[in-house]
Structure 1
Amino acid sequence: MKWSEIMIHTANEAVDPISNILYEAGAGGIVIEDSNELLKEHEDKFGEIYELDPDDFPEEGVIIKAYLPVNSFLGETVEEIKQSITNLTTFDIDIGPNKVTISEVHEEEWATAWKKYYNPVKISEKFTIVPTWENYHPVSSDELIIELDPGMAFGTGTHPTTVMCIQALERTVKPGDKVIDVGTGSGVLSIAAALLGAKEVTAFDLDEVAVHSARLNVKLNKVQDRVRVSQNDLLRGVDGQADVVVSNILAEIIVKITEDAANVVKPGGFFITSGIIKQKKELVKDALMTAQFTIEETLVMEDWVAFIAKRR
């Protein structure tokens, strides 16, 4: 099969929404080349491999490469992608240079290209994210392993917004808790909650492709007895209450669901929010406080913010 590579030069803030746009357009894989990676000090004591070539990265900003099958609808699909990215500015999202280029590649090239960027990564006190093809041995008896295959998932679980969510789950989830994951994507947060002892986890996503991917990852990590993945529009129509609700989505959408979250989270329970660029920190904080939440902890990683909010 022939594939077309669409390459988008954008800003860090736009990586998550653009990635989602590309997957919804039918992308068969995504590679993210972030110039910030060259500035980080990486350790390899957990088995990571960081031998980065500066030629693989842009001088500034982020390059997102996605792969679309070459067919009669390709031109129309690309135009829809461009328009959707441009529309992100209506949400006050910085899309950077927004330079889009197209080229043709062979399937073998993109099918393995991203693997050099994805190795076992310890992301918190307890959790290590491991690609399915790696033979990884835990370094401690209480280490929790989440296996992911980015070939079928939305992300590798190592983005700052996801890492902060998992760290927040460690601080809040207790054995026997009920957890709701809003906008589950790859399902990694639901898997983490189950491994932390939650007895019942409900994962929602509006995108049927994400629902399918999350179900595969849930089964891969053998937590399907505790995690139920369903297609749903955020918290719309959700009955009952949860001890913890976690949502790693755009700040503007978090603001819209704070009242719904207040109705779902038990008094004394927690609402974990991430996906918040620093410029939107106060916007989300104000919405949470208005909706009967108290900010218990603020997590910051790179340009991103996450809140652990407690229901009053």
Structure 2
Amino acid sequence: MKWSEISIHTTQEAVEPISNILHEAGASGVVIEDLFDLTKEREQIFGEIYQLNPDDYPEEGVIIKAYLPVTSFLSETVDEIKEAINGLLSFGIDIGYNKVTISEVNEEEWATAWKKYYHPVKISEKFTIVPTWETYEPVSSDELIIELDPGMAFGTGTHPTTVLCIQALERTVQKNDRVIDVGTGSGVLSIASAMLGAKEVSAFDLDTVAVESASENVKLNKVEQIVSISQNNLLANVQGPVDVIVANILAEIILLFTNDANRVLKQGGLFITSGIITAKKEEVKEGLIAANFTIEETVVMEDWVAFIARKN
């Protein structure tokens, strides 16, 4: 089978929404080439440092690559991708150059090329994300290993917004807690919650492919007795009470269900939100306060913000 590589020159702010657009168009995963990766300082606790080749990165901004099968509908699919990316402007998202290029690759190159970007990464005090094809030996007895196959969908679990959520879960989830993961994607936050001692985790996503991908990752990490994955629109018709709700999605979407989050949480329960660009920080903060939450902690990583809020 022939495959087409679609390459989009954009901004870091647009990485998450464009990655989701590409997935919905049929891409099984994305490669992200971010110039910032060459210069940013990394704390040693966040894992291995790899020698990066500057020739693999743009001179400015971010390049996102994905692979689509060459079919008679490819041109229509590319047009739909372009239209959806342009639509991000209406959400106040900077899409930068927004230069889209298409090239053809053979199946063997497509199947293996992206793996060179994905290695075991320690993302918090306890958690290390490991690709399924890598051999990794824990460096400490209390290290928690999450295995993911990013070829299934929704990235590698190492994006700053995911890291912020996992670090927040690590500080807040208690043994026997009930947790809800809204917009679960790969299921990585649900898996982390289960490994931290939650007795019941309910993960929701509107995308049926995400539900399938998360289910596979849950089985891979042997937490299917704790984590249930189902298709649902945010918290519609979901009943509580639960101890923790975590949501790593766009700020605009978070603001759509703050009242539902308050309804489903127990008194004093925690609402962890991420996927928030710095420009939307105050808007989300005000929305949480208006929904009767107290902001207990605000954490920033690069251009991303996460809140830990408690139901009053």
Partner of 2:123: 123
Partner of 1:240: 240
Q: In the TM superposition, what are the counterparts of 1:59-74 in structure 2 within 5 Å? A: 59-74=59-74
Partner of 1:195: 195
Task: Report deviation, 1:287.
Answer: 0.3
Matched, 1:180 2:155: no
Q: In the TM superposition, what are the counterparts of 1:217-256 in structure 2 within 5 Å? A: 217-256=217-256
Partner of 1:7: 7
Q: In the TM superposition, what are the counterparts of 1:29-40 in structure 2 within 5 Å? A: 29-40=29-40
Task: Report deviation, 1:153.
Answer: 3.0
* Residue identity matched to 1:142: D
* Residue identity matched to 1:20: N
Contact in 1 for aligned 2:185/2:211 (Cα 8 Å): yes
CA distance in 2, matches of 1:243, 1:212: 25
SS of the equivalent of 2:275 reads strand
- The answer for unaligned runs of 5 or more in structure 1 is none
* Residue identity matched to 2:175: P
Contact in 2 for aligned 1:179/1:243 (Cα 8 Å): yes
Partner of 2:293: 293
* Residue identity matched to 1:224: E
Are residues 46 and 167 of structure 1, via their aligned partners in 2, closer, same or farther at CA, if it must alter by over 3 Å?
closer
Deviations 1:226-258 (A, max 9, x none): 000000111111112210000000001111111
Partner of 2:143: 143
Contact in 1 for aligned 2:179/2:202 (Cα 8 Å): yes
Q: In the TM superposition, what are the counterparts of 1:266-305 in structure 2 within 5 Å? A: 266-305=266-305
Task: Report deviation, 1:41.
Answer: 3.3
Are residues 195 and 302 of structure 1, via their aligned partners in 2, closer, same or farther at CA, if it must alter by over 3 Å?
same
CA distance in 2, matches of 1:196, 1:277: 27
SS of the equivalent of 2:269 reads strand
CA distance in 2, matches of 1:61, 1:30: 16
Partner of 1:88: 88
- Indicate the larger mover: 103-112 or 61-70: 103-112
Task: Report deviation, 1:47.
Answer: 6.2
Deviations 1:254-299 (A, max 9, x none): 1111111010111111000000000100000000001010001011
Contact in 2 for aligned 1:47/1:119 (Cα 8 Å): no
* Residue identity matched to 2:277: I
Contact in 2 for aligned 1:294/1:310 (Cα 8 Å): yes
Matched, 1:97 2:113: no
Task: Report deviation, 1:42.
Answer: 4.3
CA distance in 2, matches of 1:125, 1:44: 11
Task: Report deviation, 1:112.
Answer: 1.5
- Indicate the larger mover: 238-247 or 179-188: 238-247
CA distance in 2, matches of 1:28, 1:234: 23
- Indicate the larger mover: 175-184 or 105-114: 105-114
Contact in 1 for aligned 2:205/2:234 (Cα 8 Å): yes
* Residue identity matched to 2:52: L
CA distance in 1, matches of 2:43, 2:162: 19
Matched, 1:155 2:161: no
Partner of 1:169: 169
Partner of 1:265: 265
Deviations 1:118-169 (A, max 9, x none): 1111111110111111111111111111001111131111000000000000
* Residue identity matched to 1:112: T
CA RMSD of aligned residues (A): 1.2
Contact in 2 for aligned 1:29/1:110 (Cα 8 Å): no
CA distance in 1, matches of 2:38, 2:311: 40
CA distance in 1, matches of 2:153, 2:226: 20
Contact in 1 for aligned 2:47/2:123 (Cα 8 Å): no
SS of the equivalent of 1:41 reads coil
Contact in 1 for aligned 2:181/2:189 (Cα 8 Å): yes
CA distance in 2, matches of 1:212, 1:238: 20
- Indicate the larger mover: 44-53 or 78-87: 44-53
CA distance in 2, matches of 1:18, 1:179: 28
